[in-house]
Structure 1
């Protein structure tokens, strides 16, 4: 039986904190007795200093596409120069309360797993164990033509050897703007050197799904199986604009499972969700945790 959507907009204005607490209590009620799979997006990591693409206060940034990266060496040069700076910002980031609560809920049996659209590995750092990195993660670099793979730390050593003191020169120019895919604005990238695959001479690319690239089928199948094994889908910190994540909302509602959404701003799932909460992810989840 399908769960009827719950309208949470109050008839009369109330104090924001009281209203948020009421909505959080409603989510706790929805979760109680159910095992949830959690679908996360960039909004869960903003509290860790990693910006998102589509939040209300986000800068307008256009990420590099797969077609650009593989078709033009100049695009690859620009990407690796910027990533050489930006990935370290992501590596230094620490999990925030949202990541910690989701890991705690997994250990308590309330959450069966996390499907994340992020590449920042913060769920793993926080202690979540059943994590599907839908779009990959920044931790490795792979050849698109053969099976060669190298971890990102070793690859960084190679870039540093080819481009001595590049990061120091960038840092000397002042503050650096970063993006959720470990990109960074670094100014002029002319002359930045990057290696090709040492095994076959092919193109090396981060193990991240770029825009215009398909998520590997086995990864999608694993995520769909996780949704099938859950009683509830909880989307946190994602606008669900991208189909690769939104498909799991459709899967859940198509089989009668309730969907709850916690996000700043409207999402693509608002018309399908049983319950929606507009608010800061960490604040809302902390209230839900207390109510549980």
Structure 2
């Protein structure tokens, strides 16, 4: 039986309510030096579901853990079969208005950087440049034996050749790029080894149960230290990998602002939580700042 990682929390009854007032966000960005911390909620308008929001994938999907992936060949077969199909769907996702607004903020010098918990590459596709991918990227693959890295598109071609005719219909795709397939659908899928040493290949992402590399954490901590404020976009802050930066900012008296429709684990540490859809909210903020958020310079 697959064990579900702990991915939820119960909001306290005394959490401050959300607001629709964007003025604090506009004011923070007007000052400049804002650090963005983005989560899966920012990509839902691109067709990629989040884990915990309305229609989130946790209700039907148990994410792969590092421990399961490394311990079980069957788990790796299931992961790569589902991920191979999910990769095709991910490849069709395009940046939405929220991503474009963040890129506009950066382009006009209002941001000190972007930390994203997402692995979809949509910030960069929208034009953002100073992006730290906290949980890695599905664009890359790494060998667990020799450490060799390679492009995911190269592995995708190898998997296509080894699994000709693999065309199952998925029930959905998840924020980690894992499509919903049954065990029967993945039973005959062939997994490809590292071309350099024959070792186990893993997507260059941080699985649940796996730690973010310490140098990357320190890079993010330094960004928090240098920021004038921290703007959280589309994250429930349920897992510590993102919440720790909110706590760091709060302890340093750096204002924390959150835009997320649902309550988050960081609400009590935030100056405000705007409970609006990300695309709508950030497009409105860009308008208040008289910035084009559609990718035009």
Question: Normalized against structure 2, the TM-score is what?
Answer: 0.88
- Please, which runs of 5 or more residues in structure 2 have no aligned partner? 1-14, 290-297
**Aligned mates of 1:34, 1:151 — CA distance in 2:** 35
Aligned partners of 1:42, 1:142: CA distance in 2, in Å?
23
| Aligned residue number for residue 66 of structure 1 | 66
- The structure 1 residue matched to 2:49, chosen from 39, 48, 51, is 51
Deviation at 1:144, TM superposition (A): 1.1
Change in Cα spacing, 1:236 to 1:257, as seen in structure 2 (3 Å) is: same
- Note if 1:234 corresponds to 2:231: yes
Tell me whether 1:271 sits opposite 2:279 in the alignment: no
C-alpha contact 2:29 2:111 (8 A) present in aligned 1: no
Whole-Å separation in 1 of the counterparts to 2:269 and 2:177: 32
Aligned with 2:25: secondary structure?
Answer: helix
> Corresponding residue for 2:175?
180
Q: For residues 9 and 193 of structure 1, what CA distance do their matches in structure 2 show? A: 50
Which aligned runs of 4 or more in structure 1 are off by greater than 3 angstroms?
7-10
Aligned to 2:288: 291
- Larger deviation, residues 63-72 vs 148-157: 148-157
* Aligned: 1:200 with 2:197: yes
Question: Could you tell me which residue of structure 1 aligns to residue 126 of structure 2?
Answer: 126
The answer for the alignment partner of 2:6 in structure 1 is none
| Residue-by-residue CA offset, 1:197-230 (whole Å, 9 max, x unaligned) | 2322321100010000010111111111111111
1:8 & 1:184 partners in 2: Cα distance? 36
Q: CA RMSD in A?
A: 1.6
After the TM superposition, which of the residue ranges 95-104 and 145-154 deviates more from structure 2? 145-154
Using the TM superposition, give the Cα deviation of residue 29 of structure 1 relative to its aligned residue in structure 2, in angstroms: 2.1
Larger Rg: 1
1:85 aligns to 2:80 (yes or no): no
Which whole-Å CA distance do the structure 2 matches of 1:200 and 1:100 have between them? 41
- Aligned-partner Cα distance in 2 for 1:90–1:149: 20
1:45 alignment partner, SS class: helix
In the alignment, which residue of structure 1 is the partner of 2:156?
156
SS of aligned partner of 1:261: strand
Secondary structure at 1:128 match in 2: coil
Alignment deviations for residues 54-80 of structure 1 (CA, whole Å, 9 cap, x no partner): 113324121010000000000000001
User: Cα distance, 1:9 vs. partner?
Assistant: 5.8
Aligned counterparts of 2:16 and 2:152: Cα–Cα separation in 1? 45
Q: Aligned partners of 1:176 and 1:127: how far apart in 2?
A: 31
How far 1:176 moved relative to its partner?
Answer: 3.8
SS of the residue 2:186 aligns to: coil
The 10-residue stretch of structure 1 (38-47 or 175-184) with the greater mean CA deviation from structure 2: 175-184
Alpha-carbon contact 2:32-2:109 (below 8 Å) kept: no
Question: Is contact 1:263-1:279 (8 Å) kept?
Answer: yes
CA distance in 1, matches of 2:67, 2:127: 35
Name the count of aligned residue pairs. 271
TM-score, normalised relative to structure 1: 0.89
**Is this contact kept in 1: 2:37–2:232, CA < 8 A?**
yes
Quote the Cα distance in structure 1 between the aligned partners of 2:257 and 2:93. Answer: 27
1:24 to 18, 22, 25: 22
* CA distance in structure 2 between the aligned counterparts of 1:178 and 1:205, rounded to whole angstroms: 19
Unaligned runs of 5+ in 1: 1-6, 11-18
Shift of 1:128: 0.3
Residues of 2 paired with 1:50 and 1:87: CA distance? 12
| CA drift at 1:31 | 2.9
| Contact in 2 for aligned 1:25/1:287 (Cα 8 Å) | no
